[in-house]
Structure 1
Amino acid sequence: MFADVRKIAALAWPVLIGQLAIIAFGVIDTAMVGRYSAIDLAALGLGSSIYISVYIGLTGILTALQPIAAQLYGARRYAEIGEEVRQSLWLALALTVIGFLILFFPGPVLHLARVPDALHERTVAYLRILAFGLPAGLAFRVYSSITNAVGQPRLVMILQIGALLLKFPLNTWFIFGGFGVPALGGPGCALASTAINWGLAVLGMVLLTRVDVFRPFAIFAHFCWPVWRRQTAQLRLGIPMGLSYLIEVTSYTFMALFIARFGTTTLAGHQIAGNIGAVLYMTPLSIGIASSTLVAQALGAHRPEAARTLSRHGIMMAVAIACCYGAIVLVLRPYIIEGYTPNAQVVAAALPLVLIVVCYHLFDALQITTAFVLRAYKVAVVPTVIYAVALWGVGLGGGYLLGFNVSGVTPEWLTGARGFWVANTASLAIAGFGLLAYWRVVSKRYLRAEVVGVVDSAA
């Protein structure tokens, strides 16, 4: 077990540092905009929820490259990896068009949220700036997927740390103004993120041509048009993966949209709780990505028993660390919240939500790690169904019933934002245990298939 944990940790820690650098973008945005104005903070919470839904849904499709390339890498079929990367870049271009239109024209989504006039203009400005950074974000996801697939996450981490070092000064400049630039408030942090995304994308493409580990793939050795067979294979895996990402994120996004109806203070408290949950989420996400890489490589090398053992140890590792994180947040909760805002009303709104985050994170760790392991097996359809039933049905539907006290008998402590968070926690528990049960079925199926293959080969 400890050998597997060391292997997973060796890949997970660079992913974790890189992901924390990126999630720190959100923390910095929230803290700095919160000191600019409460209106801009609420608009940031709403706008970032919409952007993340679009971005995660589209990049989830591109993430299909990782298990595909990792299995090819385990099988030493290097030339095919280069072809898959080229096809993924074409796919990113097509997805850019879809995402840009949604972000640049967000009116229908904001209408659904019944956004107050005070928030509408700031939210639209924020999203339209981010729309121009979306192509770069998708291109960088292709780079990070291939880099993780071949077990080189440090090449992503270095760029993400560099991006973080630029984020604070650019935010300060654009949010509060200076050197001829007017104070932009919330949209200023979107401008900083867009500039940084383009820098990351350009550097990522350059590294694909310069770093030795990528040379056998000959990614840019020649030009190619989209190949329908390979595009179909990526979409067959990527669409369910993107949908599962989208379901997971929109369950949170629509929480924000509905919670916006309770007022600016409640929404700001929700934004802080969500930000803390997102920071905690980075560790099981990193473990899931690392486990997925090792499992996919083992499957590509026709070692299903090793893949199953790695999967189990990765899941156990993520859950154990989540328990430790929960205990820390429970003890330090008041101090963590005060680090986000000096506003006493926002602190009071956030305190009970962060308490729920402790349980929320445990089940979040279980579900995300198991989901990534299943993706290494190139399994995505059934997990997407599990996500839809749990997160949309129980989480969002149950949250609406509790939060707005539709039945009229909901206890006071379960109404408002607390009702949404409690229902979402229950939905993650259902998703986590459902995915775990399905992984056991899939992994055993691979073991039986390998045994049959060995017997047939011997015969």
Structure 2
Amino acid sequence: MTENRQDNRRILALAWPILVGQLAVIANGVIDTAMTSRFSATDLAALAIGASVYVSIFVGLNGVLSALSPLIGQLFGAQRHEQVGAEVRQGVWLALFLTLGGGVLLLFPQPLLSIAHASPELAEKASSYLRILALALPATFGFRIYASLNTAIGRPKMVMALQVAGLALKLPLNALFIFGGFGIPAMGGPGCAAATALTTWMALLAALAVLRSDPSYRPFRLFAGGLGKPKWAAQRELLRLGIPMGLSYLIEVTAFTFMALFIARLGANAVAGHQIIANFATVLYMLPLSMASATGTLVAQAIGAGSHADARRIGMAGIRLAALLSVSTGCAVWLARDLIVRAYTPDPVIIAAALPLFVYIAFYQLFDSVQVTTAFVLRAYKIAVIPTVMYAVALWGIGLGGGYLLGLDPLGISPQPLRGAAGFWLGNSASLALVAAGLLWYLRIVQRHAGRERTTSRELA
């Protein structure tokens, strides 16, 4: 019992700065939307199109780079500090390669924008938005490396501080570039991208200054001998873990994207109600995501230290804690559902469309918290391929496929209460329950296998 309390305290101590930082990142998008909506409806539409393209590109590539965190966590747990620095340098090379690929897509986005069938004016504004963000991509990935390093060694507070400072800086820069001033012309929606680019580069420069000046980073020898050359064995290891991680993030994003597209067939009110729930669910997701990141970090450190019993105990403690918090959150959301939806909109028709969907939030949160925490624990064991396959089958097959059959009822067999957006949310909740159960089952197998390997190695020694 004492060990469980200690594990919970360690997880929470690491999770809360991650949570605050993630909420600050999300708030950037909220600010962009709120401020651009006051400029013009055309610019807001262009922002929505451009942001959807950018998120699709960024989430996949950023997911690949996220492989650094469990790898560094294991090295740090094993006290192999100089190898941490070497891994970070290889991460920089990977970030450069990813920047080249992502930069081409952002600089020449016409094939992706053509899917939206936007007007020439919208397409031009969205293109400008994406081309400016191409300038921010190197700094964004560079800061991702800094965040991965700090999280992996259990020091997320400085990342949080820089993310919150970036949010504070974003407000005046947005106002300057969107509406113009001091000789700078009004840019509208693309001004959000300019503000983001400046903020991101300033955050990266601040992070580099911290890495160079803070003596606690010296054991890692991050800047020893310069950047060096890419080592293809290290790159392969990063990609072996990073590609399935990036795909899993992309699967989750596209599952929600296609949900919205299908629900849009039911009319503006249905998709507006869905959008409120989806937006609120995204904010709530930051809590289990921060718990998952903290748990995965501590598990990776324990594995690196050779303590598989500690890794198993911490992993299960994190999953239980995330589930408990999600149930509490779900109950609170259900009780406050009327106040929440009215904070989004005063429209009684949209309120009527959104309120029935809140029943799925409680179940959704529970399953989502369990699956994401379990997935991060598996990544700490350097396992990501099987979970990605589970995501694809469940979220695309059960979630989208089942939601399509229930919500749109093409076969004419769906019960009336499940037709519409409710059917899609039920399908999505069921898919997450399936993923959570599958990942828990697979984690048990991985933990038993790791324990047997540890026992065998001791006997041979």
- Please confirm whether the aligned pair reaches a TM-score higher than 0.5, indicating the same fold: yes
Q: Tell me by how many angstroms 1:255 deviates.
A: 2.6
Amino acid at match of 1:376: A
Aligned partner of 1:422 in structure 2 is 426
1:255 and 2:259 correspond: yes
Q: How does 1:195-344 map to 2 (within 5 A)?
A: 195-223=198-226, 224-261=228-265, 266-342=270-346
Task: Find the aligned partners of 2:38 and 2:240 in 1 and give their Cα distance.
Answer: 45
Which residue, 57, 61, 64 being the options, matches 2:67? 64
Q: Tell me by how many angstroms 1:264 deviates.
A: 5.5
Task: Find the aligned partners of 2:415 and 2:351 in 1 and give their Cα distance.
Answer: 22
Amino acid at match of 2:258: F
Alignment RMSD (CA, Å): 2.6
Task: Find the aligned partners of 1:29 and 1:345 in 2 and give their Cα distance.
Answer: 26
Aligned partner of 1:127 in structure 2 is 130
Contact between 1:291 and 1:311, CA under 8 Å: does it hold in 2?
yes
Amino acid at match of 2:78: A
Worse-superposed segment, 24-33 or 356-365: 24-33
Contact between 1:81 and 1:217, CA under 8 Å: does it hold in 2?
yes
Amino acid at match of 1:201: L
Worse-superposed segment, 227-236 or 205-214: 205-214
Q: Tell me by how many angstroms 1:41 deviates.
A: 5.0
Worse-superposed segment, 338-347 or 80-89: 338-347
Which residue, 137, 150, 172 being the options, matches 2:175? 172
Task: Find the aligned partners of 1:450 and 1:50 in 2 and give their Cα distance.
Answer: 45
Task: Find the aligned partners of 2:152 and 2:356 in 1 and give their Cα distance.
Answer: 40
Distance 1:206 1:70, change over 3 A: same
Q: Which runs of 5+ in 1 are unaligned?
A: none
Aligned partner of 2:148 in structure 1 is 145
Which residue, 444, 451, 457 being the options, matches 2:448? 444
Task: Find the aligned partners of 1:118 and 1:407 in 2 and give their Cα distance.
Answer: 40
Distance 1:260 1:184, change over 3 A: farther
Amino acid at match of 1:102: L
Amino acid at match of 2:17: P
Q: Tell me by how many angstroms 1:429 deviates.
A: 1.3
Task: Find the aligned partners of 2:337 and 2:106 in 1 and give their Cα distance.
Answer: 34
Q: Tell me by how many angstroms 1:46 deviates.
A: 4.6
Task: Find the aligned partners of 2:118 and 2:271 in 1 and give their Cα distance.
Answer: 12
Q: Tell me by how many angstroms 1:45 deviates.
A: 4.4
Q: Tell me by how many angstroms 1:247 deviates.
A: 1.3
Q: Tell me by how many angstroms 1:447 deviates.
A: 1.0
Which residue, 2, 21, 24 being the options, matches 1:18? 21
Aligned partner of 2:96 in structure 1 is 93
TM-score, length-scaled by structure 2: 0.90
Identity of aligned residues (%): 53
Amino acid at match of 1:312: M
Q: Tell me by how many angstroms 1:11 deviates.
A: 0.8
SS at 1:133's partner residue? helix
Which residue, 59, 78, 82 being the options, matches 2:81? 78
Distance 1:408 1:246, change over 3 A: same
Q: 1:219-240 deviations in whole A, cap 9, x for unaligned?
A: 1121301111111111111111
Aligned partner of 1:378 in structure 2 is 382
Contact between 1:43 and 1:123, CA under 8 Å: does it hold in 2?
yes
1:50 and 2:53 correspond: yes
Q: Tell me by how many angstroms 1:385 deviates.
A: 0.8
Worse-superposed segment, 272-281 or 308-317: 272-281
Distance 1:297 1:205, change over 3 A: same
Contact between 1:88 and 1:142, CA under 8 Å: does it hold in 2?
yes
Contact between 2:19 and 2:286, CA under 8 Å: does it hold in 1?
yes
Task: Find the aligned partners of 1:344 and 1:202 in 2 and give their Cα distance.
Answer: 48
Q: How does 1:328-367 map to 2 (within 5 A)?
A: 328-342=332-346, 346-367=350-371
TM-score, length-scaled by structure 1: 0.91
Task: Find the aligned partners of 2:160 and 2:307 in 1 and give their Cα distance.
Answer: 29
Task: Find the aligned partners of 2:269 and 2:186 in 1 and give their Cα distance.
Answer: 23
Distance 1:111 1:241, change over 3 A: same
Amino acid at match of 2:105: I
Distance 1:40 1:333, change over 3 A: farther
Contact between 2:49 and 2:116, CA under 8 Å: does it hold in 1?
no
Task: Find the aligned partners of 2:420 and 2:177 in 1 and give their Cα distance.
Answer: 34
Q: Tell me by how many angstroms 1:258 deviates.
A: 4.0
Q: Which runs of 5+ in 2 are unaligned?
A: none
Distance 1:172 1:338, change over 3 A: farther
Which residue, 177, 190, 194 being the options, matches 1:191? 194
Distance 1:118 1:405, change over 3 A: farther
Q: Tell me by how many angstroms 1:82 deviates.
A: 0.8
Distance 1:164 1:54, change over 3 A: same
Contact between 1:34 and 1:341, CA under 8 Å: does it hold in 2?
no
